[in-house]
Homo-oligomer: A and B are copies of this chain.
């Protein structure tokens, strides 16, 4: 389901500011902070306010249309999210973020931890860091 439908369904309006933020996220390959989304909107000569960026991100987050991705250093940015449960793999060089599915690979771990700690595990945050294929090639060239 796309943004417009979701908005209508929730009785919300499909506005210019929201469309711009969504487009910028759709075009991006790396996680974007509110500030950098705002910067890109200026570069595109789209006249939206920084405040609308924050508000739209909050909205998109509620609709699970975007997801927060943490960097090694900086705290987080947002990327478009496919429907369903996904995690992200981030390139340390070009920052590109790609999705992957956790599958059942975590269930063993989760069960073990529940046993060991007595916690009732409800959710998890998993992110991988590494070098994407392109940046691996880049490295070779310099070697």
Which residues of A are at the interface with B, using a C-beta cutoff of 8 A? 70, 72, 75-76, 89, 91-92, 98, 100, 102-103, 105-106, 108-110, 112-113, 116-133, 136
Residue of B nearest to A89 (CB): B119
- Please name the residue on chain B nearest to A123 by beta carbon: B129
Contact across chains for B126 and A120 when beta carbons are under 8 A apart: no
Is B119's CB under 8 angstroms from A132's CB? yes
Complex Cα distance, B123 from A126, in Å, reads 11
A122: which of B108, B110, B131 is its contact (CB, 8 Å)? B131
Chain B residues, CB < 8 A from A109:
102-103, 105-106
CB contact between A91 and one of B70, B92, B105, B119 (< 8 Å): that residue: B119
Q: Are the C-beta atoms of B103 and A128 separated by less than 8 Å?
A: no
Which among B75, B113, B117, B131 is the interface contact of A76 at CB below 8 angstroms?
B75
Contact of A113 among B100, B106, B121, B136 (CB under 8 A): B100
Q: Please classify the interface of chain A as helix (H, G, I), strand (E, B), loop, or mixed, using the class held by over half of its residues.
A: mixed
Shortest CB distance A137–B (Å): 10
Knowing A110-B128, A125-B125, A127-B124 touch, does A119 contact B133 (C-beta < 8 A)? yes
Minimum-distance CB pairs A-B, first 8: A105-B109, A118-B133, A121-B130, A120-B131, A125-B127, A123-B129, A122-B130, A119-B130
* A126 touches which of B72, B91, B126 (Cβ 8 Å): B126
